[in-house]
Structure 1
Amino acid sequence: MGDEITNKLGQQVYNKLPMLDLNLLRVFCTVCQHSSITRAAEQLGLTQSSVSNAINRLKHALECELFIRVGRGIEPTAIGTHIFDTVQPMLDTIEQTLMGIKAFDPSTSKRVFTIYANEAVIDLLQPQLDNALAHLSVRVVLRNSPVFEAEQFQDLQMQKVDLVIDIVPPKLKMFSCQKVAQERIVCVVRQGHPVIKNHLSRDDYFAAEHVMYRFHRDNMRVADIIANAPLPQRTLYSEQSSLLSMLSLISKSNAIGIAPYIFTQNYAELFKLTLLELPFETRPIDLYSIWPTKHALDKSCIWLRKTIVELIEKAYNLST
């Protein structure tokens, strides 16, 4: 079946190649990546009608269906998938080559980079970043990561952000990553807690009410990600989208929570908190720098990745 598709498509492309607008292939591949005309149009800076028209022109040029509708979205046909798998790596290679040629000087560039990171990373990284960029023209803006990872990868793919720092490595080949740090998670209780003192038992942990951080990866909360075995259900006291708000609420209640050690240690005295080891086996949290694979040779992105790795290493070394 694959050979039949390849042979049929190859003959059609050969016959049409002198008249084929190769820009249509870029539009087509972008639609494939997003499974959406709307999101593809947004990334390309075109109207939806322009993208639809481009797909129709390519469809008529190749004399074959390229997409089928599935639910609210679209997916490529067998021939469409074959075209995408063949053409997209070529487009990426072209883009990488051109990016590698373009020079980048952070002392004169007015570019503004955007990075997604969680609150704990931003809290550590921002002072280091301010010092590093003090005498440069380039700017780097740190923004809180979306609650769900699908949104941040979509924004990375659409170039709304340049880099993501996250606790879960990407699963798709269109993204590359590098491990940049490791953090352990601790339990946080207020000083003077009526039950939990200087030691936390498993029974006390699961009997307590929990302030939870609204942050999900792989459809799991952080506690479930770091636990070596499935955890029993916890009683929800409150859900917060900010770590600082979570720590503040814990300091005013008998509820408990979990948080990154270094971040929480910096605010333990302010909020009068006690940090305790978790009463179940856990693994540390890894932090990854994540970027689009096609930007591997982009000199500006190479500078950004190198700078962020160096600053994160410095920030974590100073805090341990």
Structure 2
Amino acid sequence: MHLSRIDLNLFTVFDAIYSEGSVTRASQKLNLTQPAISHALSRLRQLFDDPLFVRQGHAMVSTPLARSLIEPVRRSLRGLELTLHGLDRFDPASSDRGFNLALRDVLEATILPPLLNRVRGNAPMVGIAASHVERRELESELAAGTLDAAIDVLLPLSKDILHTRIYQDTTVVVVRRDHPAIRGRLDLDTYLAQDHILASSRRRGPGLEDFELSRLGLERRIRLRCQHYFAACRVVSESDLVLTMPGRYAHIANEQFGNQILPFPMEVPPFDVFLYWHANVDNDAANRWIREQVIESVRQHPAVAGVRRVKKAAGGKAASGRGQAGSD
């Protein structure tokens, strides 16, 4: 088929139906009537000689051909959008654009406050939307432009995803103020003798600290597994359970609890936190601006004091750095 015979608007409809799983919601997203969406879908089915979407209950489920088409279609639409946007300069002072960032909840409390303060000072009408995105979906969402950037530990992503290290964090242990066995100091034997909390969004599996302990043939007793560090910190304040967690968030989450925050009682390397973006927006003015805001807000915030400054430029190629591929 020749490109000149294809209405490119059909692919916008294809993307909307795929994303929304519904003709009705796709019509609302594109501000088109349902008959217009249905007509476009009919033309797409004729074009590819495939149903593309089949109804299951109230949802439109994609066929294997549709699933194979979605990524190249999204990349093409994103490239065209960026080309058109590139004709204009990005002026943060007058822009009302919204930026979508993916970051895990443990990073929200450390990164969002200084980032929002910086953005509001330089771009009062710009909005920030932070969301949790499954790591297996991260690359496709960055490629499609549904995410502008992501912040996470070191992840095994393709060469199309660029990254730079923005800070390092350490592992600490949190115990209640009047813990009967721990008063200001913590050795490994005492640590292993306690009952522990593991905070993780995963339903099963060990924490990073368990991997480090297993290298020495050691194991701890997990008495509680919960989803969020903040809830775990509260449990710590009202029990003798012990929590291991990232140091930066430990100081924020424990401000109201007064728990002791102690070094992890064995040598473990610090873990790196990275900013990720797709290669197709590396030179996009707006995307470059938001990356700079993230990097500068982290660098200038008091919580980053004492951490080695990252010298990699926001718009450069992928930085190398030591990190851990598992977080909560």
TM-score calculated relative to the size of structure 1: 0.70
Counterpart position of 1:96: 82
Q: Is residue 53 of structure 2 the alignment partner of residue 65 of structure 1?
A: no
**Comparing both structures, which one devotes a greater share of its residues to helix?**
1
Q: Is residue 56 of structure 2 the alignment partner of residue 74 of structure 1?
A: no
Q: Is residue 4 of structure 2 the alignment partner of residue 27 of structure 1?
A: no
Counterpart position of 2:186: 199
Shift of residue 196, structure 1, vs aligned partner: 3.4
Counterpart position of 1:311: 297
Shift of residue 307, structure 1, vs aligned partner: 1.1
Counterpart position of 2:247: 261
The structure-2 alpha-carbon separation of the partners of 1:270 and 1:279, relative to structure 1 and needing over 3 Å to count, comes to same
Name stretches of at least 5 consecutive residues in structure 2 with no aligned partner: 308-328
Q: Is residue 124 of structure 2 the alignment partner of residue 137 of structure 1?
A: yes
The 8 Å contact of residues 110 and 249 in structure 2, kept in 1 or not, is answered as yes
- Which of 169, 175, 195 does residue 183 from structure 1 map onto? 169
TM-score calculated relative to the size of structure 2: 0.68
The 8 Å contact of residues 169 and 247 in structure 2, kept in 1 or not, is answered as yes
Please give the per-residue CA displacement for 1:33-91, whole angstroms capped at 9, x wherever unaligned: x59557993765667775554343123134x32648799843433x983x667655443
Please give the per-residue CA displacement for 1:269-308, whole angstroms capped at 9, x wherever unaligned: 7533333333566443322223455443432221111111
> What does 1:106-255 correspond to in 2, within 5 Å?
106-125=92-111, 126-127=113-114, 129-131=116-118, 133-134=120-121, 136-141=123-128, 143=130, 145-146=131-132, 148-149=134-135, 162-169=148-155, 171=157, 176-197=162-183, 198-201=185-188, 204-216=190-202, 222-223=207-208, 227=212, 229=214, 232=219, 234-237=221-224, 239-241=226-228, 243-255=229-241
Name stretches of at least 5 consecutive residues in structure 1 with no aligned partner: 1-12
CA distance in 2 between counterparts of 1:84 and 1:147 reads 18
CA distance in 2 between counterparts of 1:43 and 1:169 reads 32
The 8 Å contact of residues 212 and 257 in structure 1, kept in 2 or not, is answered as yes
CA distance in 2 between counterparts of 1:269 and 1:93 reads 45
CA distance in 2 between counterparts of 1:206 and 1:52 reads 62
Counterpart position of 2:258: 272
Please identify, of 280-289 and 309-318, the stretch whose mean Cα deviation from structure 2 is larger.
280-289
Shift of residue 248, structure 1, vs aligned partner: 2.9
Counterpart position of 2:323: none
The 8 Å contact of residues 97 and 297 in structure 1, kept in 2 or not, is answered as no
CA distance in 1 between counterparts of 2:12 and 2:173 reads 49
The 8 Å contact of residues 174 and 260 in structure 2, kept in 1 or not, is answered as yes
The 8 Å contact of residues 35 and 74 in structure 1, kept in 2 or not, is answered as no
The structure-2 alpha-carbon separation of the partners of 1:184 and 1:139, relative to structure 1 and needing over 3 Å to count, comes to same
